[in-house]
Amino acid sequence: MNSSGGKVGRLAVPLRILFNRFAFLLMVGASVTLLGLSRAGYKPIESARVFVLDYAAPVLDVISRPVAAANALFAEIGTLMTIYADNERLTLENDRLRAWQAEARQLAQENAAFRGLLRAQPEPGMTFVSARIVGDSGGPFVRTLLLNAGGDDGVRKGEAVVNGDGLVGRVVEAGNRSSRVLLLTDLNSRVPVVLEQSRSRAVLEGDNTDILKLSFLSDIAEIQIGDRVMTSGHGGIFPAGIPVGAVSEIDGDVVRIAPLVAFGKLEFVRVLRFDFPELEPVLEPDLPAAVSAGEAAGAAE
């Protein structure tokens, strides 16, 4: 008995070694065979696969539920952390806005008091017409937009066009139901501007690129990178104080301005109806008539 058992054990060792060496090849061969039979529509293979799926699906469903619950829990924790961070950020922003609101109210009251003391003339009224961009004729030589609002809506030639970021351009043609806007970046665009910090005045010029240029600048020494540029109101075309851009490059006497408006993403704009106060003619006295009146009075005496 022992001798026969020893022989069987000695025989099993080479077989186990041989099986371990060729196990991978056997598994690959079996997989290829089963795949071929399945592709050929061998019914016993399909039945076996359906049988395995029928019994494996409930097991997989039970196993996957804790994993899904854990994923949902982690997602909920991440959402709560995001909400907590957003709440802290919004609280800080709300505190800053309240401080700015109090300061703005105080400045508004002081401004009203100073205007009353100086008898300053109020700014002219300004309304706007909202319009949608329905066409873009941008090209190498001209950059304009077509709006779906015109004279019937109150749009007039020369009015400023803005969006939520800043100045877009001005109306150059106004029909009854449409109008055309010349963009700031067009080669023919000229806008009187002022730098917010130094209060230096200049003219903003377009050159058919995405970067604008300042011309007729009075003092370049006080300009720094990042200074904001706003409309000055000179000429009566644009209202004063509309944001235009920021200084992006200073190269000698050349100052480049990066516009605030993303012209490639425009969808809706506002056309500002700005009534600039017209100068009233100064009436000079009629000297001959005054002299005649004086002579007549002298003669009467």
- The candidate with the shortest Cα–Cα distance to 227, out of 206, 252, 210, 202, is 202
State which of 25, 41, 57 marks the end of a domain.
Answer: 41
Q: Is residue 64 part of a domain?
A: no
Same domain? For 134 and 264 the reply is: yes
**Structure confidence at residue 291 (pLDDT):** 42
- The candidate with the shortest Cα–Cα distance to 170, out of 209, 143, 137, is 143
Same domain? For 134 and 11 the reply is: no
DSSP string, 163-193: -SSSEEEEEEEE-SS-EEEEETTSTT-EEEE
Residue 214 burial by Cβ neighbours in a 10 Å radius (0-12, 13-18, 19+):
buried
Alpha carbons 41 and 139: distance in angstroms, whole number: 62
Q: Give, to the nearest 10 degrees, the angle between helix 43-118 and helix 2-39.
A: 60
Whole-prediction pTM value? 0.54
**Structure confidence at residue 138 (pLDDT):** 57
Alpha carbons 233 and 93: distance in angstroms, whole number: 32
Alpha carbons 65 and 217: distance in angstroms, whole number: 70
- 259 confidence band (pLDDT: 50, 70, 90): very high
Same domain? For 21 and 155 the reply is: no
Same domain? For 156 and 258 the reply is: yes
**Structure confidence at residue 42 (pLDDT):** 62
Query: Which phi and psi angles does 283 have, rounded to 5°?
Result: -85, 120
Q: What is the Cβ-side half-sphere exposure of residue 98, based on CA atoms within 13 angstroms?
A: 6
Q: Is residue 108 part of a domain?
A: no
The per-residue pLDDT of the chain, averaged, comes to 78
Same domain? For 135 and 269 the reply is: yes
Residues 138-186 have pLDDT tens digits of 555 678 889 999 989 889 888 899 998 999 999 998 889 899 999 998 9
**Is the pLDDT score of 44 beyond 80?**
no
- The candidate with the shortest Cα–Cα distance to 168, out of 200, 212, 199, 124, is 212
Average the pLDDT over 276-288 and give the result.
49
Here the CATH number for the domain that contains residue 241 is 2.40.10.340
Q: Is residue 296 part of a domain?
A: no
Give the dihedral of Cα atoms 38, 40, 42, 47; nearest 10 deg: 40
pLDDT over 70 for what percent of the chain?
A: 73
Q: Is residue 196 part of a domain?
A: yes
Average the pLDDT over 285-295 and give the result.
45
Q: Is residue 92 part of a domain?
A: no
Same domain? For 144 and 22 the reply is: no
Q: Is residue 148 part of a domain?
A: yes
Q: How many domains does the chain have?
A: 2
Q: Which domain holds residue 163?
A: 126-274
Q: Is residue 29 part of a domain?
A: yes
**Is the pLDDT score of 86 beyond 60?**
yes
**Structure confidence at residue 36 (pLDDT):** 72
Q: Is residue 119 part of a domain?
A: no
